[in-house]
Structure 1
Amino acid sequence: MSSLSKEKGISIQRAALIVSIAYGSVLFTSAAFQHYLFGTQVWDIGLFEQFSWLIGEGQIWTISSLRNIAPLQDHFSLLLLPIGFIYKLFPSTYTLIGLQSIALGSLPAVASCLAVSRRVNATLIWALVCAIVLSPYSFLVNRGDFHPDVLTVPLMVVAIFEATKNRRFRYYFCLIVTLFAKNAQALFGIGLCFYCFARGKYRRGLITFLISLIWWFLATHFSSAGGDHVAIRLEYLGDTKIEMLTTLLSRPWIVFSVASPSDILLYSLGLSLPFLALLRKPALACLLGATPVYFTNIISGSGIHRELNHHYSVAILAFLIAGCIDSLPSISVKATQVRKNLLIITLILSLAAFLGYSRTVYYQTRYFPRLPEARAFQSVVAGIGSGESVLTTASYAVHLAGRKRISQIEKDTYDSNWPFDVVILPSENALINVSGKLKKVRRTEIGLQMNQILGKAELLGMNCSQPNDYIRVCRKV
């Protein structure tokens, strides 16, 4: 770079850092508000909060009351160890939301830094930043879920970028930390292997493949108590791995029994639409790298693999960003008007993707109506200590997961866990989400179950009351 280009590059990076800070703030605010209004679920943010609490309390091998396994037995996520330490210092669900928002929010700054090092034109860098910021996937996955592998997205992008460099430490550091997120991150490692092969880095690709394979077998062994997720989600293909492979090769159309072509198309568009105008032939290696994760999501019998508000596609997002970075140098030599047109096209496609997929209308239909209940709930839970055992609903449990014993009334096992120190349930006039629609508790089947639970609590000598219009509480005397 010339002196002038260096100064311009530094200016772009500083501006992108400001964008990242603003973007991360928006991500955190939207996710935190949704959580406050009962828009998050026990699976996964509630589970990982209890895991983090247990690790922070030095109870790493204690069985989680929400998952019935120890923290590391769930995908063997070694990243939970530092997360648990951070949670110990700042014990709140918002700590997890904040960490994830920082990771996703850093993507514009990371991408611009890497693009500047490739001498990409400033207009194209801003086009990529627009695509990242308006990607509905980042927005949705941060709102609806928490998972350690989402925290590693910036490291995935850096690992892909470093794969073709002669230096080794940064590449292998990013690869290993990324793998530590969970056992299934081996799919990202295998995809990275494909990328290395496509870029002519055969030795590095082979080493990456071996590291990923070793991690897969090691992590799967230590997380076997959590169940065989491959067998569960691909059981429609057969009972054994050989049967599954044989079925896929002999009857590939069977995949359409669990994922229709329209579902696959909508899923693919939601992920890729913001980046489409910036992808060129050099991006083929990145698209090849994304295939292990993409193919797994397509053939999965579980539809959540193809939902944009779940973490299963984070590696695909990383490869799409890296693919754009690989493509932009060849576009930078184009005429100024071509680059401006690409910025406009990218902005239009990104806005279309965001408006079509971001589900912002949910705030109006599912979340804002529960604001009075959320305020009432917070005034009550402030008096519940982390040492008290709790029985509650799934929508409340995610706010009370930072403790050793908590049970949900939606699970049949709660009845065997009596007695509890606290039973906290919504009142009959409070709202509850039933299949995406808000209904008053008294008009639902679970409302009858709540009344029975409160009756049992009173029979066991608990002191029951309704401190406000929305919450009913029973406490052990």
Structure 2
Amino acid sequence: MAISFKQGSSIEHAAFVVSIVYASILFATAAVQHYLFGTQVWDIGLFEQFSWLIGEGKIAAISSLRQVAPLEDHFSLLLLPLGAIYKVFPSTFTFIGLQSIALGALPAIAASLAVKRQIDARLIWALICAIVLCPYSFLVNRGDFHPDVLTIPFMIVAIYEVTQGRRWRYYLCLLITLFAKNAQALFGLGLGLYALTKGRYLRGLISIVISIFWWFLATHLSSAGGDHVAMRLGYLGDTKLEMLATLLVRPWIVFSVASPESIFLYTLGLSLPFLALLRKPALACLLGAAPVYLVNVISDSGIQRELNHHYSIPILAFLIAGCLDSLPLVSVKARRIQKNVFNATLVFSLVAFLGYSRVMYFKSRYLPRLPEAVAFQSVVSGIGSQESVLASSNYVVHLAGREKISQVEKEDYQVKWPFDVIIFPSEKALINVRGRLKEVGKTKIGRTMNQVLERAKASGMSCSQPNDYVRLCRKGAG
């Protein structure tokens, strides 16, 4: 049943409000987790230092955290505008806010595209519910920051524009997506495959060629950051040809690094909210998602199958697009069928969110560190942005906007001595060790911190414990 112009406008306005609320929730949860030491140097700390360097005009400078220049990590050209934004708003919360807006915009974007396709209002709301309750969106926003997550609205628009006459919007969205990192070439490859299945042969072939060219160019220009393919797929062979041959001859070798159970749970967590909305027309989108999905499944790195990491962002875009391709077929069905689809989507989405969203982490891992977070903020405000800092990894994330900063967990800090400031948690403070909070003094890294502080005192630094949770040493302090 087609919706009227008035109905469509009303739905778009309501979806816009949902997006504002959704983005606010995403920002609040991610910001609280960050404040309570729930984020990591890899990767939000890295991208903050990269952005600081770019904002200061030091694009060729070597990051003290990553040991490469900002563009030598994944050749992310999006870091250039991010550096300019960070120069104006120098805060980790700037990145969290931008990422929350990108993910929060999905309900409004999906509703707008659904209205254009004359999808029934009830089904549009079903898709909005699936997006809002999708555990992956919630988790990936809490899982630090990555430039490719910012491009998901452009991915969805690019997929939609495949069948439209406008070329400039399609190619603009494709390029913005590719500029996030070299590995986004997998999305471009999937987009090309999608275009081919839709009968847009020239557009599909051009997209594939552009993506392959970008992969080789960006990979070459970021080679100093390491061969990520070899690191994650090296068990398949020493060369790309050997890897492909191994997959063709012995595909079961994948189960040596990824159990069938982990693959199933990963797939279920991603797709469950959208299952009731997908129909046969979604097969083209599932083909488009295949390059990213298959790489994640066969990777030796288990984090690529974790829902709190960014590797599955293109898959989410194709799942939403698959729903948009499917729902016109459901819109012509009886109202009873549409109601069943809505109810099933709501149930599946709630089950997925409750099962995968890790909300209880706030109680077990983050909130117990609230007193330390407050104490840390009272001390860190006195550290200048030009001072060099050595800190524990949880603290580095909050101090990464500077040229010289190192984490005590990495032994390379020793060659960068001396530092202007050393800041560690006290022995009674809590630290996350493999998912459990332990007192710092009872851990191996805690003993390392004590040794570093003794060295600092011996070198003439003035050391103190300004409160119950933080230990601080300063160079030349009186």
Q: TM-score, length-normalised on structure 2?
A: 0.99
Higher deviation after alignment, 319-328 or 215-224: 215-224
Find the counterpart in structure 2 of residue 273 from structure 1: 272
> Is there any run of 5+ residues in structure 2 with no aligned partner, and where?
none
Counterpart of 1:167, as a letter, is R
Could you tell me whether the CA contact under 8 Å between 1:286 and 1:319 is conserved in 2?
Answer: yes
Structure 1 CA distance for aligned equivalents of residues 340 and 209 of structure 2: 43
CA positional deviation for 1:446: 1.2
Find the counterpart in structure 1 of residue 341 from structure 2: 342
Residues 1:146 and 2:135 aligned together:
no
Counterpart of 2:434, as a letter, is S
Structure 1 CA distance for aligned equivalents of residues 202 and 265 of structure 2: 37
Structure 2 CA distance for aligned equivalents of residues 424 and 63 of structure 1: 23
Counterpart of 1:182, as a letter, is K
Find the counterpart in structure 2 of residue 354 from structure 1: 353
CA positional deviation for 1:337: 1.4
Structure 1 CA distance for aligned equivalents of residues 425 and 9 of structure 2: 53
Q: What do the CA deviations read for 1:170-204 (whole angstroms, capped 9, x no partner)?
A: 10010000000000000000000110111111110
Find the counterpart in structure 1 of residue 50 from structure 2: 51
Q: What do the CA deviations read for 1:20-42 (whole angstroms, capped 9, x no partner)?
A: 00000000000000000000000
Could you tell me whether the CA contact under 8 Å between 1:19 and 1:109 is conserved in 2?
Answer: yes
Q: What do the CA deviations read for 1:261-280 (whole angstroms, capped 9, x no partner)?
A: 00000000000000000000
Find the counterpart in structure 1 of residue 65 from structure 2: 66
Structure 1 CA distance for aligned equivalents of residues 184 and 460 of structure 2: 49
Q: What do the CA deviations read for 1:250-305 (whole angstroms, capped 9, x no partner)?
A: 10000000000000000000000000000000000000000000000000000000
Structure 2 CA distance for aligned equivalents of residues 432 and 217 of structure 1: 41
Find the counterpart in structure 2 of residue 32 from structure 1: 31
CA positional deviation for 1:410: 0.5
Structure 2 CA distance for aligned equivalents of residues 25 and 237 of structure 1: 43
Counterpart of 1:280, as a letter, is R
Aligned length: 476
Counterpart of 2:173, as a letter, is C
Counterpart of 1:22, as a letter, is V
Could you tell me whether the CA contact under 8 Å between 1:145 and 1:311 is conserved in 2?
Answer: no
Find the counterpart in structure 1 of residue 294 from structure 2: 295
Structure 2 CA distance for aligned equivalents of residues 393 and 132 of structure 1: 36
What is the 5 A alignment of 1:80-119?
A: 80-119=79-118
Runs of 4+ in 1 over 6 A off after TM superposition: none
Counterpart of 2:370, as a letter, is L
Find the counterpart in structure 1 of residue 206 from structure 2: 207
- CA RMSD, 1 decimal: 0.9
CA positional deviation for 1:71: 0.3
Counterpart of 1:446, as a letter, is I
CA positional deviation for 1:145: 2.0
Find the counterpart in structure 2 of residue 304 from structure 1: 303
Find the counterpart in structure 1 of residue 363 from structure 2: 364
Structure 2 CA distance for aligned equivalents of residues 318 and 309 of structure 1: 16
CA positional deviation for 1:336: 1.0
Counterpart of 2:172, as a letter, is F
CA positional deviation for 1:447: 1.2
Determine helix, strand or coil for the equivalent of 1:239.
Answer: coil
CA positional deviation for 1:209: 0.7
Determine helix, strand or coil for the equivalent of 2:4.
Answer: helix
What is the 5 A alignment of 1:369-448?
A: 369-448=368-447
Q: What do the CA deviations read for 1:131-181 (whole angstroms, capped 9, x no partner)?
A: 000000000000012110000001000000000111111100100000000
CA positional deviation for 1:221: 0.9
Find the counterpart in structure 1 of residue 9 from structure 2: 10
What is the 5 A alignment of 1:142-221?
A: 142-221=141-220
> Is there any run of 5+ residues in structure 1 with no aligned partner, and where?
none
Structure 2 CA distance for aligned equivalents of residues 402 and 94 of structure 1: 12
Counterpart of 2:26, as a letter, is L
Determine helix, strand or coil for the equivalent of 2:390.
Answer: strand
Structure 2 CA distance for aligned equivalents of residues 373 and 270 of structure 1: 33
Determine helix, strand or coil for the equivalent of 1:384.
Answer: coil
Structure 2 CA distance for aligned equivalents of residues 40 and 173 of structure 1: 32
Determine helix, strand or coil for the equivalent of 1:438.
Answer: strand
Structure 2 CA distance for aligned equivalents of residues 317 and 145 of structure 1: 18
CA positional deviation for 1:383: 0.4
Find the counterpart in structure 2 of residue 476 from structure 1: 475
Q: TM-score, length-normalised on structure 1?
A: 0.99
Q: What do the CA deviations read for 1:96-119 (whole angstroms, capped 9, x no partner)?
A: 000000000000000000000000
